[in-house]
Amino acid sequence: MTKHIGILLFPEVEELDAIGPWEVLAWWTNAFPEDGYTVTCLARESGPVECAKGLTVHAHHGFDDAPTYDVLVHPGGSGTGALRSDEAHLDWLRRMRKKVPLMTSVCSGSLVFAAAGLLRNRPATTYWSQLDRLAELDPTIEVRHDDRFVDDGDVMTSAGISAGIDMALHLVSRLAGDERARQVRRGIQYDPAPPV
């Protein structure tokens, strides 16, 4: 039976927060369908979503017609400011938390998780400039300042933007093994060598 991974889209989502994990997970699920996973994007309503820097992407599903997810990825971006005070969105996240076995966030997506109460008494991280804000939103969070991502079992958070790629590769490792994650990493030729 196919297991579903969903990547949330919303207005002003940071492009790489969503597309980085998408590339990792879509490469994996397309190259190795025998692993039994598929990945789709969802938004409040299906259709086009304009991202933070002007890229328009398409949500396959709306909240009402999305499959039952085994993993949900909540990206960050400037749009998370509005989501942190959007009670309908926070309530939706709380409902998802009860149904989705693994909730993950990228960048400031963890701030939305915190606003929804999903990170209470947990270790977590976020974009470097938002670490103090994460602690302010919920003082019970053990803020991990230096971690690229934090795996706390049924909740994973990652640092900013490109860190979502690392988290997604870790997710592949968790779901399909280290060798599969190495194959995906090689497939997307991800081997960072920073210039400075």
Q: Tell me the mean pLDDT per 10 residues along the chain, length 196.
A: 97 98 98 98 98 98 97 98 98 98 98 98 98 97 97 98 97 98 96 78
The secondary structure of 21-77 as a DSSP string is HHHHHHHHHHH-GGG-EEEEEEESSSEEEE-TTS-EEEESEETTTPPPPSEEEE--S
Residues 184/169, Cβ–Cβ less than 8 Å: yes
41 as an active site residue: the answer is no
State the catalytic residue, choosing from 107, 141, 150, 171.
107
pLDDT recorded at residue 192: 84
pTM exceeding the 0.85 threshold for the entire prediction: yes
pLDDT recorded at residue 31: 98
- Assign domain 3-187 one CATH number from 2.60.15.10, 3.40.50.880, 1.10.4000.10, 3.40.50.720: 3.40.50.880
pLDDT recorded at residue 196: 72
Residues 78/11, Cβ–Cβ less than 8 Å: no
Where is 81: in which H helix or E strand? Answer: helix 80-83
Strand 155-158 versus strand 56-59 pairing type:
unpaired
Sequence-ordered list of residues with C-beta below 8 angstroms from that of 16, at least 6 positions apart, any chain:
161, 162, 164
Report the C-alpha gap between 81 and 111 in whole angstroms: 9
- Where are the strands (E) in the chain, listed by range? 3-8, 37-43, 47-50, 56-59, 61-62, 71-74, 102-105, 123-124, 142-143, 149-151, 155-158
Tell me the domain boundaries of the chain. 3-187
pLDDT recorded at residue 53: 97
pLDDT recorded at residue 193: 76
Backbone angles phi, psi at 168, to 5 degrees: -65, -40
Sheet strand arrangement including 3-8: 61-62, 37-43, 3-8, 71-74, 102-105, 155-158, 149-151
Where is 134: in which H helix or E strand? Answer: helix 131-137
